[in-house]
Structure 1
Amino acid sequence: MIQWAFVLYNHYYMHYEDKGQLAISYSSYYFMGAFCGIYYHTFKEWITVTWTNLLSKKVLLWIPLWTLWIASSFGDVNLWYQTRVNDFSANALIYECYWFFHTFTSPLILLQISIFLYQKLNTRLINTIINLGVASFGVYIIHAAILFYYFRLPVSYTPAAYYLYIAIGYAFTLLFSWGIVALAQKYIKGSWILFGSKPKISPYI
């Protein structure tokens, strides 16, 4: 409600163009993250894919969730494809609506997939991903600063060069942010103030 109140106010009255840089534009995601974290064990029971759960009322949550995610993801991608390739234009709120449902449902889908992968993947790979999870808040905090400087590098805007530029930027930003946070958590006592505290109980397997 807070996020969409801002979206509608901005659309009809304020007309602030770069609202993606305002934290209020993501308030629903922050609250969803807090909710899932506080009630994680109960939440996990509802989204874990097991044969028992497939035959329970929990499927009543999965079906609309996956349906909404698939529909909004396809709609969001197709809308932007038509906009950029065929010079199509729609009301800004339609873009906002598709983007919201696409991005709001994606973390829930990814959490469900991650629990499944946790049960199937190699232990070393799982522990590496858990390590990234432990550092993820810090990565989120500092990645924008790294991207700020990376996107100031000159680049040729041919399609192949642009794709490579984006791919390298993604890998570099992730690994560099991860490295900074991991080193800070290991060697700097007060790093939790900036990058969040580490789990009290070791999450590794």
Structure 2
Amino acid sequence: MTSREIRLDASGLLRLKLEKLADSDFEPFWISGSDPLTDIPALSELSHLSIPLQGRILRLTEVIFSDNPLGGAWCARGFVAAASQGSVGFANGLLDAWLAGRWSVTQEARARAVIRSFSKRLRNGLLAERVAKRGVLNLSDLPAGIVPYIVRQRNCLRKRREWVVISGGDRLSPGFWKWYFDEDGIGEVIERQTPTCNLIESFDEIGIHLNHPRVASSNGHLHPAR
């Protein structure tokens, strides 16, 4: 039995599938996710697979790479949406379905519900109130997995720029994460803080003065997101 570190994000789940195809006894050693774009399997890593399977994997990575993750086939979008929101088991099921080219009506219905949730969170992250100060986004109430897609969508819709982002964590590292994204929207996690830390005081110390984000409710008024 072999084992290696696998990230808890979309690229990590894809890597896990490739490892399982090569060795059915492979066991992952899970680590916290990051920006999926920084760990996408290279084309050379797919050369031993059949041409149809390579094609489906490449189509999936196009959705992971896209500035608009809501475009493309619903199954691929559902995989990205589920992986980004921490639904690892369902994401793995959609990945299997996508690579096999077969899925159930139940999978499709649930995937579309997950995509709607992902879309809602994505729009929430694009609100102007999310900008805590120039170049700083406060996404502290959103899970870490969705952050790279919010930043790239924001850069696509507006002027590209570097961002420092404060986000929530993931299942392995709950709490608050601090990210840095370059102008191309490629991100890295530069700090992870525990759930017990005082978010406002912690980032006051480094010159980032946050207010909890205020988002639009159904009546058009703004209210705290948490």
Q: Considering fraction of residues, name the structure with more helix.
A: 1
**TM-score above 0.5, yes or no:** no
Bigger radius of gyration: 1
Please report the TM-score for the alignment, with normalisation by the length of structure 2.
0.28
Q: Considering fraction of residues, name the structure with more strand.
A: 2
Please report the TM-score for the alignment, with normalisation by the length of structure 1.
0.30
